Structure 1
Amino acid sequence: MSENKLKLVYLTPALYMAGGVERVLTLKANYFAEHYDYDITIILTEGKDKPFFYPLSPKIKVINLDINFEELWGYSFIKKIFVYLKKQRLYKKMVAAELMRLHPDITISLLRREINFLTDIKDESKKIGELHVNRANYRNFESGDSNFFKNLFAKFWMRSLVFKLKKLDEFVVLTNEDRQSWPELSNISVIPDPLSFVPACVSNLTEKRVIAVGRYVYQKGFDLLLQAWSKIEKQYPDWQLVIYGDGNRTPYEMLVRQLGIDDSRCHLKGPTTNIQQEYANSSLFVFSSRFEGFGMVLVEAMACGLPVVSFACPCGPKDIISDGEDGLLVEKGHVDAMADGLSRMMSDEQLRISMSQAARRNVKRFSIEQIAECWKMMFETKGSNS
């Protein structure tokens, strides 16, 4: 470990997007720099002249290598391979040069392209990888477009990845559930993502409104949610469902019409700039994902005092929700089970009140202070051996 303060280097593609990984990295790095006085550098490959989406502490240094892997998106398959290999060689050379120059105690990869070479760089820093999705969906080869060669490639790719992960000093996943899916690894720890805010407002549970939050994509299961809602909405004419998120709403609007849902009480909205206020204006949160890496919106909603009904999908809900105490876990992908869970919550005010109190209490374990302490223990143990 350095004589004075611990020196960390993070490797991640970009900070200009409004993504979950970018938000969590910024939150943690800011906390480490401001509260622990760690010397932190973040190395990027994309978005050279784009502003960071989330504010970064002035104490943190950022190096943009300007590799621009993003330009591959527009290339043909063959050209993509040649340009990728060239860029990857350049990336390895530049990362190695920066690590030799910076001499960090610890280098943290967010498990993108650098995992292919990071443990080969002999700069004496400890190497940590942190994964923000679950194993099954790390490289999400959509089942609809898979074929024999893709399956073969996926198997080869995963075997190669596991070999690289074994060489890390520590591999960090978000949930105990996902930890079980890496039986080959002994160098594995669980540290969840931290809650990104301390709630400024909490629901008083008076609005008869169910809220869901997420992108309008297959993963988030809003099609299943709408099917469940269509089964119970007529029993609860004073309740409404509101969904907030980015993406193409058109297929979901069509589904609302096909299912005969009352669209005056079912609102498909775009993203909101004040999600805390929307949680506070609701009395129940519903989580319909088919799979997750963690499910930060669950933690956010619970911190704002919302009881939840969630599919017990991999991975996240089972680590976050205590079934029957602060929310209901229902069989993953099962529309009738989701409808029953919603109905049970909507019809029982006392249940909502008791679960709301438990939710606020139970998610305190995801505060940035508690999560940062977990990282601090790991960093200082590893760093003292470097």
Structure 2
Amino acid sequence: MRDGKYKIVYCTPALYSAGGTERVVSVKANYFADVLGYDVTVIVTEGKNGNSFFPLSNKVKVINLGLNFEELWNISFFRKILLYLHKQRKYRKLLTKELMSIRPDVTITTLRREINFINSINDGSKKIGEQHLSRTNYRKIDTRFSKYYEKLFFWWWKDRVVSELVKLNRLVVLTNDAVSEWPELANIRMIPDPLSLKVDGSSSLTTKRVITIGRYSYEKGYDILLRIWSVVEKKCTDWQLDVYAMGDPTPYVKLMDDLSIDKRRCHLHSSVVDVEDEYLKSSILVQPSRTEGFGLVIVEAMACGLPVLSFDCENGPRSIISDGEEGFLIPTFDIEEFSNRLIQLMNDADLRKSMGEKGRKKSQCYQIESVGNQWKQLFDELMQKDGI
């Protein structure tokens, strides 16, 4: 460190995809480097060239270790274990080499594969874990399609992480609910995700368009959303639904066919870079997630003046939305209530406008300047403890 300008290293799997973690890491890395003047390096294990899906400052260095853990996704369980252990040993060796060379003041892990060994790397840095999932969904497998020995392994693997989290200098979580999920840890700090957009305008809320942004996965609940839409589209025939998500939409296209949904008014898109433009062309955000660690999409939509409908799933949405103020929190999996509230918003322009205005105001506390200052305070606190 020189003159309060810390060396920061981020360890995260990838930057090339359009996920929420990738977006948040990019935004914070840019702020640390461009505004706070820190020396910032992001170390990734995936992606051929290390390019970032989201804009990344040329002051932020990226090191791609090229380990390709993603190839484990589609192989048998026992082969997966053997190859994982091999890659994990290689990862530990390569990451140790990089950290010993960089000698950062702070190393931040997004709690993926490196959490198993990062505390034992004696590079002199403070170690911070950044938790983007709720505890119940951290290191979770889909038990519907898992064999008993896979379940036993993952239960052991999931419980083992606590012994590593307790060694961190700090574990940063995104909501107050998330703080209470880890009663055995005394090193927790709550810092929300920052708003990643610099919004220039606000939606007119006159376009009859509902939007959601995320990924095509079970957790995001798009199967539930399509069931909701199959009801709503028949009562609000001049509205359309647009889904922007990363991943494979094929199962959802089939579900649309099964539900006889009008494909002229319901569109399943791939992920999009310019999310602000899509928000501004919409009038309502729907968030049908079964679980959320935070809900960055909610904050982004609110900043663009959109009212929000979300299931009241654990952690995220309830920490952002006050029911009936910036939008509606729907009891989880209550399709009828979600449908009724969505129809209510579609038919009430004044309610959309009132909720949208309240949402814009609340989104200000998630600006990067506010969140970035909380991170700076945390860095200063950890450094001052050692008299640095």
Cα deviation for residue 6 of structure 1 reads 1.3
Shift of 1:3: 5.2
In structure 2, the partner of 1:117 is 117
Distance in 2 between residues matched to 1:115 and 1:264, nearest whole Å: 46
- Contact 1:225–1:338 under 8 Å retained in 2: no
Q: CA deviation at 1:115?
A: 0.9
Is 1:6 matched with 2:6? yes
Asked if residue 306 in structure 1 is aligned to residue 306 in structure 2, the reply is yes
Q: Whole-Å Cα distance in 1 between the matches of residues 383 and 202 of structure 2?
A: 40
> Could you list the runs of 5+ residues in structure 1 that have no partner in the other structure?
none
Correspondence for 2:350 = 350
Question: 1:176 Cα shift?
Answer: 1.8
Number of residues of Structure 1 aligned to a counterpart in Structure 2: 386
Q: Which residue of the partner structure matches residue 225 of structure 2?
A: 225
Distance 1:255 1:70 in 2: 27
111-120 or 322-331: bigger deviation: 111-120
Report if the CA contact (8 A) 1:243-1:269 is conserved: yes
Shift of 1:234: 3.0
Distance 2:62 2:255 in 1: 45
1:203-218 alignment, distance < 5 Å: 203-218=203-218
Taking a change above 3 Å as real, the CA distance of residues 328 and 116 of structure 1, as seen in their structure-2 partners, is same
Matched, 1:283 2:283: yes
Corresponding residue of 2:316: 316
**Matched-pair contact (CA < 8 Å) for 1:201–1:277:** no
* TM-score, structure 2 normalization: 0.91
- Distance in 1 separating the partners of 2:39 and 2:278: 37
How does the TM-score come out when normalised to structure 1?
0.92
Q: Is the 1:2–1:105 contact (alpha carbons within 8 Å) kept by the matching residues of 2?
A: no
Q: Is the 8 A contact 2:138 2:158 kept in 1?
A: no
Looking at structure 1, the residues matched to 326 and 283 of structure 2 have their Cα atoms a distance apart, in angstroms, of 13
Instruction: Name the % identity.
Output: 50
TM superposition shift of 1:329: 0.3
Q: Distance in 2 between matches of 1:94 and 1:315?
A: 35
**Shift in Å, 1:266:** 2.9
Corresponding residue for residue 237 of structure 1? 237
The equivalent residue for 2:135 is 135
Matched position secondary structure for 1:267:
strand
Alpha-carbon RMSD across the aligned residues, in angstroms, is 2.2
**In structure 2, how many angstroms separate the alpha carbons of the residues matched to 1:72 and 1:120?**
25
1:4-41 deviation line (CA, Å, top 9, x unaligned):
52121221223233322222111101111111111222
Query: 1:258/1:72 Cα in 2 relative to 1: closer, same or farther (>3 Å)?
Result: closer
Distance 2:51 2:225 in 1: 36
CA positional deviation for 1:313:
1.3
Following superposition, the deviation at residue 185 of structure 1 comes to: 1.1
Q: Relative to structure 1, is the Cα distance of residues 14 and 252 closer, same or farther in structure 2, using a 3 angstrom cutoff?
A: closer
CA separation of 1:248 and 1:4: change in aligned 2, threshold 3 A: closer
Identify the range of structure 1 (370-379 vs 74-83) with the bigger mean alpha-carbon deviation. Answer: 74-83
Displacement, 1:76? 4.9
Q: Match of 1:245, SS?
A: strand
The secondary structure found in structure 1 opposite 2:216 is coil
